Amino acid sequence: MKKYHVRQAAFALTQLCFISPNASASPVEQITLHYYERPPFHYTDEKGQPEGLILKKTIEIFHKAGISYSWERTPANRILALIKNDSGHDCSPGWYKNEGRERYAIFSDSIYHDRPLIGLTRVDFKVRDGITAKELFSMPDVRLLLKQNFSQGAYMDSLISENFGERIQRVTVEVPTMVKMLKANRADLIITTEEESETFVSKAGYGMQEFRILKFPDVPAVERRYILCSKNVSPEIIKRMNDAIRKLNP
């Protein structure tokens, strides 16, 4: 799989590679921070630079911690493979924590608190407003479209495993392509965040008037995003990262 590299890029806020004068005198361990295209959380801007809510927060953390790093744009499944391979000093911000990933990776403290997940469906999908995710998922004809290897958070993942069998289609394509599949009636539902839904629909070439957002009253706003790291990253780096997170988010 082709990897795209964005090294030594700069945000207006700060430099991407920075070593604090107050950092410890231990040997420098430069971290490769991988991100993939998922606006507004992490994406490449019109100048070819990393941008997004999660990436700006990550820069603050690494700046505060005095950790040297560089960015690489890498497809999502490739990021997980690199972390699992455990051969480099690789991290990636913006991931949900789950039991499977905890077996092969290290998670930082949480860096971002999501708004509740929502369901994106076609405007003609016949379901009442205010339906719970538990009720919707139990309907025998609802077809769910999911991105392969992605977690929907603990509550959603549990409901999905309990209710869906062959009615789940797992794909490797990006979410705007999933939106096109949804519009073409190849599925009934995508789970996403409210922050991202309009971006995905727009990138697919549609307007929001062609879709419905289902806000589930039973889905809690408790899902958090973390920096995911290879176990090859030293405990000292993880500690400095977490100390910085706690100082920035007391």
- Tell me the per-residue pLDDT of 186-236, one tens digit each, with 9 for 90 and over: 999 999 988 889 989 999 999 999 999 999 999 877 678 999 999 999 999
The per-residue pLDDT for 148 is 87
The per-residue pLDDT for 50 is 94
Tracing tokens 């490769």 back to the chain, one arrives at 32
The per-residue pLDDT for 28 is 64
Which pTM does this prediction carry?
Answer: 0.65
Tens digits of pLDDT across the chain (250 residues): 444 444 434 333 334 344 343 444 344 689 999 999 988 899 999 999 999 999 999 999 999 999 999 999 999 999 999 999 998 999 999 999 988 999 999 999 999 988 888 999 999 999 999 999 999 999 999 999 999 888 887 888 889 988 887 789 999 998 999 999 999 999 999 999 888 899 899 999 999 999 999 999 998 776 789 999 999 999 999 999 999 999 998 7
Mean of all residue pLDDT scores within the chain: 87
Q: Which residues, at least 6 apart from 187, have a Cβ–Cβ distance to it below 8 Å? A: 143, 144, 145, 169, 178, 181
Work out whether strand 31-35 and strand 69-73 pair parallel, antiparallel, or are unpaired: parallel
Q: Quick one: how many helices (H) and strands (E) in the chain?
A: 8, 13
The per-residue pLDDT for 2 is 41
Please state whether 194 falls in left (phi above 0), alpha (psi between -120 and 50) or beta: alpha
Fold agreement between 4-113+223-248 and 117-215: yes
- Which superfamily does 117-215 belong to? Periplasmic binding protein-like II (3.40.190.10)
The per-residue pLDDT for 108 is 98
Give me the torsion for CA of 154, 159, 162, 164, rounded to 10°.
-120
Q: Which residues, at least 6 apart from 202, have a Cβ–Cβ distance to it below 8 Å? A: none
The per-residue pLDDT for 12 is 36
**Extents of the domains making up the chain:** 4-113+223-248, 117-215
Q: What is the assigned CATH class of domain 4-113+223-248?
A: alpha beta
